[in-house]
């Protein structure tokens, strides 16, 4: 019982510290939110479009939801650090190294994907979709809440998509994914990535390449990671077999 009490006290401490950090980040996010929103709306303002609201509380509700989400993602490294401190004592040294590497790579890749979407994809995608509406002789009236939800979805989606190498590494480590399978499905994967790149980028060759080339690089990085893990596992198996035969 004392062991469980110790674990519960430790867990409570981690949760309290995480809650305090989240509260501080939420306050900071609320203070900086007008700047972030103005930048998020820049692609629309560059097209001389104005955002509208259809209810009195739309701005307040959307800003609150956005601040809560931003505070969570800003604090994610610290939250994962607290979770790591809680579970690390139960892991072996090799498991701790793997988890540390996976968490670090996952955070960096998510940040890279979110930044790529924020700086590259969103401005081009907004211009493209507005151009389609104009070509169809439709008036464009964008709601404040739906526009910010659209931008947030794209940014988070690319952040998650950039986690592909980490997912492949984990799958390769447990034997669910092999480099040969990734190579065999390369042409289908490339076709899917081209379709995605064409759909979310303006109808220009440079814009298509700007989106699809990083996606290709992610897939090839995943193949390289799977190959490296497969070679290491094969080498370790061969060494273990050689030792057992002595």
**pLDDT per residue as tens digits for the range 124-135:** 888 888 888 878
Average pLDDT of the chain to the nearest whole number: 83
Q: Which pLDDT score is estimated for 207? A: 64
Q: Is the pTM of this model over 0.95?
A: no
DSSP per-residue codes, 128-169: HHHHHHHHTT----EEHHHHHHHHHHHHHHHHHHTTHHHHHH
> Residue 240 domain-assigned?
no
> Residue 246 domain-assigned?
no
- Structural domains counted in the chain: 1
> Residue 241 domain-assigned?
no
Q: Are 161 and 193 spatial neighbours (Cβ–Cβ below 8 Å)?
A: no
Residue-number span of the structural domain to which 32 is assigned: 3-234
């Amino acid at each position: 019982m004392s062991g469980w009490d110790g674990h519960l006290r430790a867990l409570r401490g981690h949760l309290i510290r995480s809650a305090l950090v989240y509260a501080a980040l939420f306050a900071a996010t609320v203070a900086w939110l007008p700047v972030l929103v103005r930048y998020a709306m820049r692609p629309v303002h560059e097209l001389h479009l104005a955002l509208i609201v259809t209810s009195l509380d739309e701005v307040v509700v959307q800003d609150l939801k956005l601040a809560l989400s931003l505070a969570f993602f800003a604090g994610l490294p610290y939250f994962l650090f607290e979770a790591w401190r809680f579970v690390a004592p139960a892991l072996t040294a090799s498991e701790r190294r793997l988890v540390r590497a996976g968490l670090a790579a996952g955070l960096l890749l998510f940040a890279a994907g979110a930044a790529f979407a924020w700086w590259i994809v969103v401005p081009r995608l907004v211009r493209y979709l507005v151009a389609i509406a104009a070509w169809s002789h439709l008036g464009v009236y964008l709601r404040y809440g739906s526009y910010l939800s659209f931008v947030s979805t794209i940014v988070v989606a690319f952040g998650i998509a950039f986690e592909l190498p980490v997912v492949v590494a984990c799958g390769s480590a447990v034997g669910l994914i092999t480099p040969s399978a990734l190579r065999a499905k390369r042409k289908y994967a490339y076709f899917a990535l081209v379709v995605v790149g064409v759909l979310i980028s303006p109808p220009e060759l440079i814009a298509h390449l700007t989106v699809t080339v990083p996606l290709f690089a992610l897939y090839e990085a995943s193949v390289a990671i799977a190959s490296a893990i497969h070679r290491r596992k094969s080498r370790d198996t061969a060494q273990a077999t050689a030792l057992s035969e002595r």
